[in-house]
């Protein structure tokens, strides 16, 4: 892989790959609607880097946690609320969608150290009545909602 720099903030590289991999890549570019191969490669590298940083655990990340649970379980809502309150600095907001058969789809927006967000996910998925919990993280952060210590927006 060769690399050279230029003055527009982009780096250029050349990549060689087997024909079968290239054809699969071409299908991916077309099916996902990328404007170019460069855009596709950049997105893939960005996602892979985010997953790597997530595994390290100390990197601050934003993400969504998607839960499906059975709200008929007597103590579940109390348990979920307790966990959210324990992590009030990481849990930003949630969207609650009613499904069939007393099931709920809840999407929670969070931000904080990747390790902490994973711990929250693990606590939630072990609650009796939670069917699934899936977290998606990104290193792109939300801007601060309040200036530190003032309660006012920056």
Q: What is the pLDDT of residues 93-137, one digit of tens each?
A: 999 999 999 999 999 999 999 889 999 999 999 999 999 999 988
| pLDDT of amino acid 59 | 83
d(CA 62, CA 6): 31
| pLDDT of amino acid 48 | 72
C-alpha pair distances (Å), 55 with each of 48, 66, 77, 88: 11, 19, 29, 22
138 versus 4: which is more confidently predicted? 138
Mean pLDDT estimate for the chain: 85
Sign for the CA dihedral angle at 6, 12, 13, 14 comes to: negative
110 versus 141: which is more confidently predicted? 110
Residue 47 exposure: Cα atoms within 13 Å on the Cβ side: 7
Tokens standing for residue 129: 């009545």
In this structure, CATH architecture of domain 60-138? 2-Layer Sandwich (3.30)
Q: Is the pTM of this model over 0.75?
A: no
Instruction: Place 58 in a pLDDT band, splitting at 50, 70 and 90.
Output: confident
| pLDDT of amino acid 52 | 65
35 versus 139: which is more confidently predicted? 35
């Amino acid at each position: 892989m060769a690399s050279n720099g230029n003055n527009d903030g982009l780096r250029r590289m050349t990549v060689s790959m087997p024909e079968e991999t290239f054809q699969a890549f071409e299908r991916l570019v077309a099916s996902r609607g990328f404007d170019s191969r460069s855009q596709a490669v950049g997105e893939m590298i960005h996602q892979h880097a985010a997953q790597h940083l997530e595994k390290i655990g100390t990197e601050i990340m934003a993400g969504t946690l998607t839960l499906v649970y059975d709200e008929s379980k007597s103590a579940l809502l109390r348990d979920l609320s307790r966990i959210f309150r324990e992590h009030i600095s990481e849990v930003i907001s949630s969207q609650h969608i009613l499904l069939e058969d007393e099931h709920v789809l809840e999407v929670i927006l969070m931000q904080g150290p990747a390790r902490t967000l994973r711990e929250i996910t693990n606590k939630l998925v072990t609650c009796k009545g939670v069917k699934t919990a899936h977290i998606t993280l990104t290193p792109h952060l939300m801007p601060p909602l309040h200036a530190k210590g003032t309660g006012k927006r920056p």
